[in-house]
Structure 1
Amino acid sequence: MYEIGDLVFYESTGVCRIDDISTQDITGLDKDQLFYILHSVYGDCKIWVPVESTQLYMRRIITKERALRLIDMIPNIQAEAFHGSRMRELVEHYEDSLNSHNCRELIEMTMSIYAKKQEAEDQNKKFGAIDKRFMKQAEDLLFGELAAALEIPKEDVQNFIADRIVKIDVRMLDKRKKEDQ
């Protein structure tokens, strides 16, 4: 069971704080049923989640250590653009990644869509609206969770990732130089 003040990742909302755990006077529901009262950290929504629910997805946010390991993996992730033959296939592919609620999946999805964007730009083609919409959703969820785990503002996450990856590349070059000597 979670406690008041815990940060959790909830469904497609992303990072939420548990503000309360209490019963609610909601018509048609058991008056003794406990609810987590969630407040979105990066939005204004308030969500009531039954404590005993097995239908809804909620988990603790990742740790700072896990967030750093995920970021450190980024240079090694080989992401290829996904080209569905039908629009529905593309949407389902992206929805599957979003619904995994997994940071690594979100990183791979974001990198895949970014690769697709680069392809479109290289070929002087328009970047698709569906790709753009899902890239924004994936980045919002991913950057929100990384920001909460790293205890930095959400708008600083992209620069944090870029700076850390550059430092990783420099360390790798230094290591190779030492090995060559």
Structure 2
Amino acid sequence: MYQVGELVSYGSTGVCRVSEIINQTCPDGEERLYYVMQPLYKACVISVPVDSDKVFIRPIITRDEADRLIGLIPTMDCPAFHSRVSRELNEHYTTLLKSYSCQNWMEMTISIHTKKQWLLSRKRKFGSVDERYLKQAEELLFGELAAALDIPKEEVREYIGAKLESLKAS
């Protein structure tokens, strides 16, 4: 069970802080424990049963895990996924997003950026499906990295760049 104040990754919402754990009476009269959570990057409050298995919830990664993941970037092989069938693109990207893995989100963003550069270098249009999923993956990834590293989300891209530069130098 998570504790009040703990940061968790909650489904497609991203990083949330557990603000309360409350007893609530359900319509059937049964008492259940609920997490009351506040997303760090959205203005809302979420209430979810502690024992729910409908939405994925896990602790966020640690600072060391975030730095280790960033350090893996130069060794990652993230080929672009190409398909003219938007359903296939949707399925591919949805599977990666729903893995709820920072490493998969990292590989997905690198892959889509690779695809974008390849298309733009050939003066071809970058697709809206790719653009939408790139934005979703970056939101989830950068939100979790920001929380783990205790920096503003807007500084994550710069932090990654600086970390990669220091790795090159050493």
- Shorter-chain TM-score: which interval? over 0.9
Match of 2:18 in 1: 18
Shift of 1:31: 4.7
Runs of 5+ consecutive residues of structure 2 not aligned to the other structure = none
In terms of Rg, which structure is larger? 1
Query: Take 2:35 and 2:5, find their aligned partners in 1: how far apart are those partners?
Result: 11
**Contact (CA 8 Å) 2:25, 2:31: kept in 1 or not?**
no
Match of 1:2 in 2: 2
Q: CA RMSD in A?
A: 1.1
Q: Which amino acid aligns with 2:58?
A: R
Matches within 5 A, 1:113-128: 113-128=112-127
Cα separation, partners in 2 of 1:126 and 1:29, compared to 1, 3 Å: farther
**Contact (CA 8 Å) 1:23, 1:31: kept in 2 or not?**
no
Q: Which amino acid aligns with 1:125?
A: R
Name which of structure 1's ranges 58-67 and 76-85 shifts more when overlaid on structure 2: 76-85
Task: Return the TM-score normalized by structure 2.
Answer: 0.96
Runs of 5+ consecutive residues of structure 1 not aligned to the other structure = 172-181
Residue 93 (str. 1) matches residue 83 (str. 2): no
Match of 1:35 in 2: 34
Q: Which amino acid aligns with 2:16?
A: C
Matches within 5 A, 1:140-179: 140-171=139-170
Task: Return the TM-score normalized by structure 1.
Answer: 0.91
Aligned length: 170
Query: Take 1:92 and 1:84, find their aligned partners in 2: how far apart are those partners?
Result: 11
Q: Which amino acid aligns with 2:77?
A: Q
